[in-house]
Structure 1
Amino acid sequence: MNGTPNFAGWHVTLLAEDDTNTERLNRQLIVLGMRVNRQWRPISVDDLPDLVIVDVDRGWDELIPWSGDEPLRPVVAVLGSEAPGRIAWAMRQGAGAIIQKPVTASAVFPALVLAASIHEERLNAARRIAHLEERLKLRPVVFTAIERLKAERKVDDEGAYAILRNCAMRRRLPVEQIAAFFLVGSETLSEVG
């Protein structure tokens, strides 16, 4: 995340029952310019907020409409217990930060920044992984193009790959895409074929 986010206008769902911690948290969120919806029922996947704050001490699995490695929104856990099971539950929900009970005003903003930052990092990592997986799937195309270039141009593996790489660099396209164009006989790659 570049810089510290401005949370003004963000919609936050506060999953907690009414108590002094919830009141303090609610006040601080309003001071930060956030629109707060406090509820103690599951969030609808059709009405997702910008950020979720959940009382982990009392939370249950269906409270948040996701679990695991792919939280749909940044999550902040409010936690008073040191129970390993509660901490593990918060992690399964994708919590990127913890606000310790009793809630203090000074703990809220840093937790929001951490949760938003970690969520953004997770999304970026997921995009990078998807991109790399897609490129990995296309490696057989590159291998086939190299084999064909070796046969047609009478060059070794390195020479064939250099032809593909140089063409890809000139056209500013991935090697995998150039290899696919070459294999289907694309006329725009006359310097390769």
Structure 2
Amino acid sequence: MKTHRLVQNFSGYRALICALPERSTEALAPTLKKLGLQSELIGHSPAAPVVLPFENINADRDILFIDGDMTLPMDWRCLRGAGRSALPPAPVVGLVGIEAPSRLKALLLLGATAFLAKPVYGGAVYSALFLGVNEYNRKEILVDAVDVLYEKRRRRAVVIKAVVSLMNIRNIDEDVAYDLLRKESMRARLSIEDYCEYMLGLRQEQDKNENAHGERQALKG
């Protein structure tokens, strides 16, 4: 899991600007250059579709600037991964000209964590970068934490099976069984879920060997 790091220097980052060349955004690229970012304009003509280089996008170095007023054809759904908590492949800064709720909502759904009003003024760009990147990093940590919790919840069934198995084998109650499993997992330096999977696997293998031995004895008899 990533640790939170506050990004203040954006030198070496790459800005992917999804916008048509126009006067309202002409100050963006020069300002980004002064801040040490390399800019790439995506979508150069009204007839051309927007194609994002997803295979080359890196959240640790790239920032997407998406114009909420843009009408170019694009499958925006591919910007988000699967699941309600999925993040876009990199921080998104929404460029806002017409402040209609529908356009702001569309940018939020794309994962925008900051907005930059058009016409773009150089003095506002750094604040948008700072908020967009650091809020994205914060959300990424939260999403990772939620994924870990969901995975642990999914694997609780394994723990329950192991507790019941140990209760039957040793004739003990569930609290004692769980405490034994917890101590053994700590001794083995495994999570309790991993240890229970290991224990159940050994038990299944033992039962399989005993059944095979019983079948051989029956054939001999």
Say whether 1:100 aligns with 2:106.
Answer: no
Deviation at 1:42, TM superposition (A): 3.0
SS at match of 1:130: helix
Q: Note if 1:51 corresponds to 2:60.
A: no
Counterpart residue number, 2:209: none
Given the alignment of the two structures, is residue 18 of structure 1 paired with residue 21 of structure 2, yes or no?
yes
What secondary structure, in the 3-state scheme, does the structure 2 residue paired with 1:150 have?
A: helix
State the secondary structure of the residue aligned to 2:116: strand
TM-score between the two structures when normalised by the length of structure 2: 0.76
- Aligned equivalents of 2:145, 2:8: Cα separation in 1: 23
> Equivalent of 2:162, from 130, 136, 145?
145
Instruction: Name the count of aligned residue pairs.
Output: 186
- Give the whole-Å Cα distance in 2 for the aligned partners of 1:24 and 1:141: 57
Q: Distance in 2 between matches of 1:95 and 1:88?
A: 10
Q: Secondary structure at the match of 1:43?
A: coil
Maintained 8 Å contact 1:56/1:89: yes
Q: 1:185 to 1:48 in 2, by over 3 A?
A: closer
Name structure 1 gaps, 5 residues minimum. 187-193
**Structure 2 counterpart of 1:112, which letter?**
L
Cross-structure match for 2:194: 177
- 2:37 equivalent to 1:34: yes
- More displaced stretch, 67-76 vs 6-15: 67-76
Write the distance in 2 (CA, Å) between the matches of 1:162 and 1:142.
Answer: 12
> SS of the counterpart of 2:79?
coil
Please provide the CA RMSD for this pair: 2.1
- Please say if 1:66 is aligned against 2:76: no
Which of the residues 90, 93, 107 maps onto 1:90?
A: 107
Greater Rg by CA: 2
